[in-house]
């Protein structure tokens, strides 16, 4: 069909491609014709690679373009310019029929589940298989397998109206996996669920990723979703990717203001109200500097503050803090108040011990 | 009521049911695909054909806005062409079908448009073709509304069928006018009205029960 397909199928050349990205967006832009005159740009020069077998989370506010981004991957939307390559096929250039076939290897789950109310759980899961033209016997066997995978074997004959939100999403996941896809797209799949159900759905997705080696691309507006399932994260704002990388790095050393704002509610990052209210950008003679210390890795357990007091004789106030684990690695944050006179020495000391520091402001 | 009256009443009821059943049947046959097309051929939809959509929409509206009694008279040449005559029950079926088709098409269009767009998106995402989406998603999901719509169409057709009496169409309306009104037999008029009420009531209940059975969105105890 087109040249790149042939190259990718050549095994000697395949090894030359550094990361085996199963999904690749290459300088993708999407412009919608505006209702009144001016066209609206939804995505602007997006480059993104999702490595085979990984879980990549895209986080952004509503209207940031993440919905458009995920729909480009299975061709529900066409890019205005750029290429979308999934498993070696240029999705953006496939004719309709080939695209429908390609979509069988790209599953998708939705915020509002999108199950047919007229079909039972089992019948909903069977639908993509019916559409693909499988034999009845094959379908029955596969549906049984999927129902047990998502833990709903006892609900097979229930209609969606008789299922809870979490159970509906499990049916959605089973349906998305029916045609044995290589990639799963998750469009805010847990945004309509309560925290506990969210937890169990994310656990299921993690298990599927680990056991079936399925690559997952998810979009969300919740940092908690990213932290509990994703290995890599891309932050999208105004149609551009403003920050991307390893989840641990982005969580512990956020670079962009948008990323910081998403992290603001994360444990240990939120300042207690009595500090936040009195925080000023400028120092005054009697004020204290408020410093956030970021611990990564083994330093997380070091008694740094004790040393600060003992070695430099600097007394600090602990204002907020937490110790946590992100992507399986320990990390923590501690917010302290330091007398202005000792600020420079404190920062130098902390940096010397390999800790991240950030001066948040000053309180009188 | 004399046995003669009962005989007349039974015959007229049979004629009405026949006219309504056949016109509703053929009307559905044409109205279902037409309605599906109207619901899916707008700009950016499954079978996007905005011009055909607009043209058909205008034709449907024109037919629906023509008063039925005028339609009956206006299409007499067409009726002759199809039924060979313009008088009698068979002839009456032609204008009834012509009126029923656009009406049913609009009802089906409405029912299909009620289906959540998210389902179409999900079906496209797992590789369904537009035709598969119509047959496996849209129609099954819209079925309870379609059944209610068809019930409404049948009830309306019973009313329309009374009007074709004016052109010798037979049926209950014809009986009511000729015997009840023109021959001063109020008991016949009353009997016709009672039969019509019972008929409509029964058909509506049947439609409601059927639609409720099909509707899986509500929990059944």
Q: Does domain B16-169 have CATH number 1.10.287.130?
A: no
- CB burial class (10 A; 0-12, 13-18, 19+) of residue B185? middle
Written as tens digits, the pLDDT of chain A (364 aa) is 344 443 444 444 444 444 579 999 999 999 988 777 788 889 999 999 999 999 999 999 988 889 999 999 999 999 999 999 999 999 989 999 999 999 999 999 999 999 999 999 999 999 999 999 999 999 999 999 999 999 999 999 999 999 999 999 999 999 999 999 999 999 999 999 999 999 999 999 999 999 999 999 999 999 889 988 999 999 999 999 999 999 988 988 888 999 988 888 776 677 888 888 888 888 888 888 999 888 887 665 567 888 888 888 888 888 888 887 887 788 888 888 998 888 999 999 888 888 888 888 898 7
Cα gap A59→A53, rounded to integer Å: 19
> Whose CA is closest to B146, among B16, B36, B65?
B36
**Closest partner CB to B127 (pick from A110, A118, A132):** A132
User: Do the Cβ atoms of A49 and A19 come closer than 8 Å?
Assistant: yes
Contacts (Cβ under 8 Å, ≥6 apart) of A176: A107, A108, A109, A184, B126
Going from N- to C-terminal start, the domains of chain B cover 16-169
Do B136 and A127 lie within an 8 Å CB cutoff?
yes
DSSP labels, A164-217 = -HHHHHHHHHHHHHTT--SEEEEESTTTTS-HHHHHHHHHHHHHHHHHH--EEE
Cα gap A76→B221, rounded to integer Å: 39
Q: Name every residue in A having a CB less than 8 A away from some CB of B.
A: 74, 76, 100-104, 106-108, 110, 112, 114-119, 127-128, 130-132, 159-162, 175-176, 178-179, 185
What distance in Å separates residue A207's CA from the closest CA in chain B? 22
Do A131 and B218 lie within an 8 Å CB cutoff?
no
> Whose CA is closest to A18, among A60, A59, A62, A52?
A52
The answer, for B219 touching chain A at a CB cutoff of 8 Å, is: yes
**Closest partner CB to A131 (pick from B118, B126, B214):** B126
Query: Facing residues of A187 across strands?
Result: A110, A219
Which residues on chain B are in Cβ contact (under 8 Å) with A159?
Answer: 216
Mutate to test the interface with B, among A76, A103, A114, A182 (most CBs of B within 10 A): A114
Query: Facing residues of A292 across strands?
Result: A335, A358
User: Do the Cβ atoms of A184 and A217 come closer than 8 Å?
Assistant: yes
Do B218 and A161 lie within an 8 Å CB cutoff?
yes
B 118-137 → A contacts, CB under 8 A: 118-119, 121-129, 132, 136-137
The CA distances from residue B146 to A141, A269, B140, B149, B150, in Å, are 33, 55, 9, 5, 6
Which residues on chain A are in Cβ contact (under 8 Å) with B214?
Answer: 118
Longest Cα–Cα distance in chain A: 80
Domains and CATH numbers, chain A: 3-105+181-263 (3.40.50.300), 273-363 (3.30.70.260)
Distance of CA A94 to the CA centre of its chain: 27
Cα gap A248→A54, rounded to integer Å: 15
Report ipTM (2 d.p.). Answer: 0.89
> Whose CA is closest to A206, among A239, A179, A229, A234?
A229
List % helix, strand, coil for chain B (3-state, nearest 5): 80, 0, 20
């Amino acid at each position: 069909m087109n040249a790149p397909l042939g190259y990718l199928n050549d095994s000697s050349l395949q090894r030359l491609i550094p990361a085996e990205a199963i999904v690749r967006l290459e300088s993708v832009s999407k412009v919608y014709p505006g209702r009144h005159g001016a066209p609206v740009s939804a995505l602007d020069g997006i480059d993104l690679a999702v490595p085979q077998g990984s879980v990549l989370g895209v986080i952004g506010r509503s209207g940031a373009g993440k919905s458009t981004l995920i729909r480009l991957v299975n061709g529900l939307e066409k890019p205005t310019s750029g290429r979308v390559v999934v498993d070696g096929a240029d999705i953006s250039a496939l004719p309709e029929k080939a695209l429908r076939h390609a979509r069988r290897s790209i599953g998708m789950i939705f915020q509002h589940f999108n199950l047919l109310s007229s079909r039972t759980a089992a019948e909903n899961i069977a639908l993509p298989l019916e559409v693909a033209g499988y034999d009845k016997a094959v379908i029955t066997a596969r549906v049984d397998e999927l129902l047990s995978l998502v833990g709903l074997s006892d609900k097979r004959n229930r209609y969606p109206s008789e299922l809870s939100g979490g159970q509906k999403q499990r049916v959605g996941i089973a349906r998305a996996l029916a045609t044995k896809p290589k990639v799963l797209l998750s469009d805010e799949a847990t945004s309509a669920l309560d925290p506990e159900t969210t937890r169990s759905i994310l656990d299921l997705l993690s298990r599927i990723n680990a056991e079936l080696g399925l690559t997952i691309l998810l979009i969300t507006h919740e940092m908690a979703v990213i932290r509990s399932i994703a290995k890599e994260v891309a932050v999208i704002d105004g149609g551009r990717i403003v920050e991307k990388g390893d989840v641990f790095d982005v969580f512990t050393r956020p670079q962009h203001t948008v990323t910081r704002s998403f992290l603001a509610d994360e444990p240990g990052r939120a300042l207690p109200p009595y500090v936040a209210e009195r925080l000023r950008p400028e120092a005054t003679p009697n004020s204290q500097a408020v410093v956030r210390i970021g611990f990564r890795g083994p330093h997380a357990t070091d008694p740094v503050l004790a040393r600060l007091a003992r070695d430099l004789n600097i007394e600090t106030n602990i204002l907020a803090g937490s110790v946590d684990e992100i992507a399986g690695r320990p990390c923590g944050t501690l917010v302290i108040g330091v007398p202005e006179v000792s600020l420079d020495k404190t920062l130098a000391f902390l940096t010397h011990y390999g800790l991240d520091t950030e001066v948040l402001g000053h309180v009188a | 009521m004399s046995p003669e009256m009962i005989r007349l009443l039974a015959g007229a009821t049979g004629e009405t049911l026949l006219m309504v059943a056949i016109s509703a049947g053929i009307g559905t046959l044409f109205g279902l695909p037409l309605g599906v097309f109207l619901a899916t051929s707008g700009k950016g939809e499954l079978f996007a054909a905005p011009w055909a959509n607009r043209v058909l929409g205008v034709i449907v509206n024109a037919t629906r806005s023509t008063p039925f009694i005028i339609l009956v008279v206006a299409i007499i040449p067409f009726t002759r062409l199809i039924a060979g005559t313009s008088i009698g029950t068979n002839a009456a079926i032609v204008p009834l079908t012509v009126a029923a088709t656009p009406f049913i098409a609009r009802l089906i269009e409405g029912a299909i448009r009620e289906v959540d767009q998210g389902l179409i998106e999900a079906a496209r995402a797992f590789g369904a073709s537009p035709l598969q989406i119509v047959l496996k998603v849209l129609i099954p999901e819209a079925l309870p509304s379609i059944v209610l719509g068809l019930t409404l169409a049948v009830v309306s057709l019973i009313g329309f069928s009374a009007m074709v009496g004016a052109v010798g169409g037979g049926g209950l309306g014809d009986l009511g006018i000729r015997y009840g009104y023109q021959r001063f037999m109020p008991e016949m008029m009353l009997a016709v009205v009672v039969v019509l009420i019972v008929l409509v009531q029964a058909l509506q209940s049947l439609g409601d029960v059927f639609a409720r059975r099909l509707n899986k969105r509500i929990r059944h105890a």
